[in-house]
Structure 1
Amino acid sequence: MRTYNWAILGLGNIARKFAQDLALVPQARLHAVASRSLAKAQDFAAEFAVPHAVGSYADLLAVPDIDAVYIATPHSEHYAHALLCLRAGLPVLCEKAFAQNATQAEEMIRVAQEGRVFLMEAFWTRFFPAIAQALRLVQAGHIGEVKHLVADFGFATPYQPEGRLFNPALAGGSLLDIGVYPLFISQLFLGMPSAVGAVSTPAPTGVDLNCALALAYPGGATASLFSTIAAQTDNRCVLYGTKGQLQLLGRFHAPTGVQVQLAGEESPQVFPSPTQGHGYHYEAAHVQECLAQGLTESPLLPLAFSLQLMQQLDAVRQQIGLRYPGE
């Protein structure tokens, strides 16, 4: 079996977690890292024993034998950095939110498909074993017909106008950073909504501090979703069905199991699913499986799904009046 040489473009906190988890992936090796600062790239490379470190993103294209690039820059930069790699023929795993808006996502997908280069959104939640378990239970009708889904994701962070989370130029706000998770999980279980309602509370910089969504689906289900960067929430997801309810255990975006409470039964059924590391290794292993099969997109997280998610994010931003510079 061949070894896959990974590169990381953008060396923030999430890149460090991904690098740590890559050690858990069979036949994976961190081969190159790229930062706007050569010193930062060299320090990162020294920490993880990486043979190649470059001080610009363009210089990454000159590194030989790269099999896949993980893009971990801010949301506002995903479009440019994905295109940089895709046009060079390098397979891309791009952090969520996939792009700043659906127009950018469409162009990323077009370039990938025309060049027959692999592209996938790095929505790590999709690849946790507990998610697969929950989908099996719901699709088998274990809790009956799903009527409502609730999901929230929130944490409290100090207000820093120039920081990534509050800066409009970096596509800041709760929605694209963490609100995308409740929206993702609702799309995964319920599909595309027929109606979306959204309200938000703006931060002084204009990005959303809180964002609350109410959605309706063609099949008759509804969803209540919430994100905030002003308060710690439970980070829960519960699906309510005609026969009972299903909850993703732990933080729903990185679940450690599934719990099912059927109507009329005293005790819930628990399906534990312990994880290793941070959980990023699941998506990396999946990318390698796709590349080994010669695929240009994932069957579990197809590009059409990511585009639909971006279209929903655009619709929400239109309702709450959130525009980013240049839009």
Structure 2
Amino acid sequence: MNDSNGIRWGIIGCGLIAPKFHRSLLNTGEGRVVAAASKSMRRARRLGDKTGIPHLYDSYSRMLEEEDLDAVYIATTHNVHADHALLCLERGIPVLVEKPLTHHASDAERLIRTARARKVFAMEAMWTRFNPSSIRLQQVLADGVIGEVQHMKAEFCVRMPLLAPKMMPWNRMYSPRLAGGALLDLGVYLVAYARMIFGRDPETVESSITPAWTGVDKTTAARFRYPDGAVAEWRCSFREARPRDVVLTGTRGTIHVSLFTGADQFTISRDGEEDSVIHCEKSGFEHEIREVHRDLREGRTESERMPLQESLEIARTMGRVRSSA
């Protein structure tokens, strides 16, 4: 990490999320993407044409062997996150793995064991955890502004037209082979958010799943109950567009977070008082990238805000959602 241009990144997977990561990295001013790899050189070149990434590969292993990389962003489909992260970790290369960390808790355990045994940095790219609004919200809750949180209600629903290409079985969203489905793509944000708010695993999980014709879930709804009586209710779906809102109800008031994944403000309501709007810095991938850079510079092998145990517990809760439906 002695490069005058900052931390040198590689990207594994050249799909739609890769250009967004590239732009966000440039916005930090702290690093650059020096190489990207895809199974298809055509797709790698398409990313190179969009971004100017200089070195392109159709072999993940060859990129890792030939390039001098400080970190790798794993942007492939859910089903191979663990395999591609392990390719890097076994070579001593830190990884930022797109959410979900893996599609099964057993794979998350395998990834985490390897990272810890080799003392190599690894983090799930749960970018919402690092957004300024999320950090400020946690501070407000810790200060007891709305008292004890008793209930969370949240939705993350995105409409996909019946005959749109994204509905076809070769699209990752609806592909069982690629670990598609609303739970893994959208619901993981809601499970992670509940974990952030309540700070622990639910005591009981109740869920219902509506399958798509391909076999993956197109809608999942769940209710988490906690030992102190608190409840989190959430729903994710590919069937319809709905406001991506979170409402937290406490013993002394409520908090409404609009568009929670990219929120830059939230509203506090308390009886007998005017609503208070808390404004925050803009959300984006930049914040999680800066977190990785800080951790690498300071020699940490895990993020304090998104440690690997947190990702493992989220993966385990996702498994409970599937099994209880």
What TM-score comes out, normalization by structure 1 length? 0.94
- SS at the partner of 2:177? helix
Give the aligned partner of residue 133 of structure 1.
136
User: Pairwise mapping of residues 99-118 of structure 1 onto structure 2 (< 5 A)?
Assistant: 99-118=102-121
- SS at the partner of 1:165? helix
- SS at the partner of 2:112? helix
Residue 20 (str. 1) matches residue 18 (str. 2): no
Contact 1:32 1:63 in 2 (8 A): no
Percent of aligned positions that are identical? 37
Residue 163 (str. 1) matches residue 157 (str. 2): no
What TM-score comes out, normalization by structure 2 length? 0.94
- SS at the partner of 2:20? helix
Contact 1:130 1:248 in 2 (8 A): no
Give the aligned partner of residue 314 of structure 1.
319
Instruction: Answer with 283-292 or 16-25: which moved more.
Output: 16-25
User: Pairwise mapping of residues 58-97 of structure 1 onto structure 2 (< 5 A)?
Assistant: 58-97=61-100
Shift of 1:162: 2.2
Residue 302 (str. 1) matches residue 307 (str. 2): yes
Give per-residue Cα distances to partners, 1:66-119, cap 9 Å, x unaligned: 011000111001011011111111100001111010000000000000110000
Shift of 1:298: 0.3
Aligned partner of 1:271 among 256, 263, 278? 278
Aligned partner of 1:8 among 11, 23, 27? 11
CA distance in 1 between partners of 2:181 and 2:76 (Å): 15
Give the aligned partner of residue 325 of structure 1.
none
User: Pairwise mapping of residues 90-239 of structure 1 onto structure 2 (< 5 A)?
Assistant: 90-158=93-161, 159-190=167-198, 191-239=200-248
Shift of 1:49: 2.3
- SS at the partner of 2:196? helix
Give the aligned partner of residue 50 of structure 1.
53
Give per-residue Cα distances to partners, 1:131-183, cap 9 Å, x unaligned: 01000000110001111001110101143122111111111110000011111
Contact 2:156 2:245 in 1 (8 A): yes
Q: Output the amino acid matched with 2:171.
A: G
Aligned partner of 1:245 among 233, 251, 254? 254
Give the aligned partner of residue 164 of structure 2.
none
CA distance in 2 between partners of 1:72 and 1:10 (Å): 5
Contact 1:133 1:258 in 2 (8 A): no
Q: Output the amino acid matched with 1:206.
A: G
CA distance in 1 between partners of 2:30 and 2:157 (Å): 35
What RMSD over aligned residues (CA atoms) do the two structures have, in Å?
Answer: 1.3
Aligned partner of 2:291 among 273, 286, 289? 286
CA distance in 1 between partners of 2:85 and 2:180 (Å): 19
- SS at the partner of 1:161? coil
Contact 1:135 1:189 in 2 (8 A): yes
Give per-residue Cα distances to partners, 1:198-232, cap 9 Å, x unaligned: 01111112111111101111222101110001110
Shift of 1:289: 0.3
CA distance in 2 between partners of 1:224 and 1:241 (Å): 15
- SS at the partner of 1:32? strand
Q: Output the amino acid matched with 2:181.
A: G
Give the aligned partner of residue 37 of structure 2.
34
Contact 2:19 2:50 in 1 (8 A): no
Any stretches of 5+ residues in structure 1 without a counterpart? 321-327
Number of aligned residues: 316
Contact 1:161 1:167 in 2 (8 A): yes
CA distance in 2 between partners of 1:104 and 1:201 (Å): 25
Contact 2:35 2:67 in 1 (8 A): no
- SS at the partner of 1:181? helix
Any stretches of 5+ residues in structure 2 without a counterpart? 162-166
- SS at the partner of 1:90? coil
Instruction: Answer with 170-179 or 60-69: which moved more.
Output: 60-69
- SS at the partner of 2:97? strand
Give per-residue Cα distances to partners, 1:9-66, cap 9 Å, x unaligned: 1011111111111111132111111111123223322432222111121222123320
